[in-house]
A and B are shown apart, each in its own frame.
Chain A
């Protein structure tokens, strides 16, 4: 499943991004009178999820169109402010200076550091993780493990997981000294599961599922907070972020219907399919 679905997903994203390819703001599709159209712009992390939710919304509410365009969280917020978009997508919490906007969290994105089960190391400080990824620490002995070289697993450019990881550890991708670069989460887990000296980071949902289903990996706590779906959901896990739909004021009309739908349990399967954490169990 993982690789074929990765491929289909890739294809779909390529197709979608071809259609939605970087329109300048003045060419935004204008709502026509006969059908209600919801324009959503912003974070490229959220765009695949929101367009899936949009497709399901369209089938449940015939006569409505949901247009999803990417351009980054800042564009999402800017478009929500200027009214170019009905809803903006931001893959972060709203900043204090954005308090006049209305944010609705639809899911969480959390990533966790994973090691092989046979690795005696069970806890790393942020500084140690940083040193391992930049190549300052190259042997597990230095952090209390076996005398074995570290294998650093990094993500390919453009992935939201990489972006969140770099942002948290305050790194640039060119600082990272990687031995393996992977595409999707499952590939990362297979790589770590097959190498007792590997260290990697993947979406928390996938890692927790695999770890409880016999895959030989362990999830490291971060700043002594255990890496679990619950700690991501409560916002205590440091390496996580809320996926937020932003509106200029309290949502009303079609926007409200859509946001309520995106927060409901009707879209849980879609959220899980994108390796995000849904709001409630």
Chain B
């Protein structure tokens, strides 16, 4: 990396001003996250003091008005819904990005991209509403009751597909043209070009796309609240209803008091922990893969 502090010869006032205002803005962006964490900690502090961290995993269940605060079922619910939707949306998103870039005729490709961009812009309540009145009754006829982990996974897949597809498409488009020309000159077929040249060189971007998708799935609230059934339990199969941490907060915050309210902030803290975990995992995975690719 090139350091700009040593090779800039001018020491003009405007340079210093720019540098300091950028530092300030960067500090604000980073400080915001710290503020959010500090706020969550502050609000859930009564719960930590009066209930204690261990009871959030050892209590008999989540009955906050009867003084039981177990959150584990909701942590698993969040994880299953996220993992399921990422597993579905990743191949779909990357394959449609490849289709868009290498196989579709230019006109179709442009319209296809527009449609996906539009899909990305649909508000989550609309997805949730559609899920509640169309998807859930459909699943209910097939395997009652209807609101289920499966419905959540399908809705989340629809929601994160455009994120994954658009970011993947952008990173595929950044592969140097010279690579593609050389590969074509060597007589590679289109598929071996994709498999051996495009995917390895754009994999950092592809990982980013999956990471952004997972983060959106983890944090999604309104749509999952409407289709998942919100029963606090460990799902034994796809048709069981689940409750996610986000839905827990949105459902109960309006009327929560005292320890109940603090326990809901605790759910927020757990969710924050999950997001940190995903980001760390993605970072680790990314570095290892870059190393493999450039070896």
The answer on a CB contact under 8 Å between A3 and B64 is: no
> Shortest beta-carbon distance, B258 to chain A, in Å?
7
Q: How far is the CB of A178 from chain B (nearest CB, A)?
A: 5
A and B contact pairs by CB, cutoff 8 A, 9 listed: A3-B226, A10-B250, A157-B64, A157-B65, A160-B255, A172-B63, A174-B63, A179-B231, A181-B241
CB distance B231 to A180 under 8 Å? Answer: yes
CB <8 Å contact, B257 and A179? no
Question: Residue among B64, B145, B230, B258 with the most chain A CB within 10 A?
Answer: B145
Q: Does A14 contact B (CB under 8 A)?
A: yes
Given contacts A70-B257, A159-B255, 12 further A-B contacts (CB under 8 A): A10-B254, A22-B257, A44-B257, A149-B145, A156-B251, A157-B65, A172-B66, A181-B230, A190-B133, A194-B140, A195-B137, A195-B144
Asked if residues A174 and B260 are in contact (CB atoms below 8 Å), the reply is: no
Minimal Cβ-Cβ distance residue in B for A156:
B251
Inside 8 A of B62's CB, which chain A residues have their CB?
A: 157
Assembled-state Cα–Cα distance A187/B230 (Å): 12
B172 at the binding interface (Cβ < 8 Å):
no
Q: How far is the CA of A70 from the CA of B230 in the complex (A)?
A: 27
Minimal beta-carbon separation of B213 from chain A (angstroms): 24
> Which one, B146, B225, B232, B261, contacts A183 given CB within 8 A?
B225
Pick from A17, A70, A180, A195: contact of B241, CB under 8 Å: A180
Which residue on chain A has the smallest CB distance to residue B225? Answer: A183
A contact patch SS: mixed
- The smallest beta-carbon distance between A93 and chain B, in angstroms, is 22
How many residues from B make CB contacts under 8 Å with A?
39
Contacts of A179 in B (CB 8 A): 145, 147, 229, 231, 241
- Complex partner residue of B144 from A3, A178, A197, CB under 8 angstroms: A197
Q: How far is the CA of A80 from the CA of B222 in the complex (A)?
A: 40
Minimum CB–CB distance from A59 to chain B (whole Å) comes to: 25
- Considering only CB atoms and an 8 Å cut-off, how many residues of chain A contact the other chain? 35
A23 on the B face (CB < 8 A): no
Would you call A174 and B225 a contact (CB within 8 A)?
Answer: no
User: By the criterion CB–CB under 8 Å, are A3 and B66 in contact?
Assistant: no
Contact between chains at A178 and B231 (CB < 8 Å) = yes
Is A96's beta carbon under 8 Å from chain B?
Answer: no
Verify B61–A174 contact, CB threshold 8 A: yes
A182 within 8 A of B: yes
Q: In the bound complex, what is the Cα–Cα distance between A151 and B231 (angstroms)?
A: 12
What residues make up the interface of A, taking CB atoms closer than 8 Å to B? 3-4, 7, 9-10, 13-14, 17, 22, 44, 70, 148-149, 151, 156-160, 172-174, 178-183, 187, 190-191, 194-195, 197-198
Taking a contact as CB atoms under 8 Å apart, the answer to whether A181 and B243 are in contact is yes
Q: B117: CB under 8 A from chain A?
A: no
Give chain A nearest CB distance to B118 CB in angstroms: 21
Are B258 and A22 in contact, CB atoms less than 8 angstroms apart?
Answer: yes
- Given known pairs A149-B144, A157-B64, A181-B243, the reply for A9 and B133 (CB within 8 Å) is no
Chain A: which residue is nearest B133 at the CB level?
A194
Give the distance to chain A from B71, nearest Cβ to Cβ, in Å. Answer: 13
The residue of chain A having its C-beta at the shortest distance from the C-beta of B260 within the complex is: A158
B136 at the binding interface (Cβ < 8 Å): yes
* Inter-subunit contact B63/A194 (CB<8 Å): no
Given contacts A179-B241, A190-B133, A195-B140, contact A158 B65 (CB under 8 A): yes
Pairwise interchain contact B136-A183, C-beta atoms closer than 8 A: no
Q: Using Cβ atoms and an 8 Å threshold, which residues of chain A touch B225? A: 183
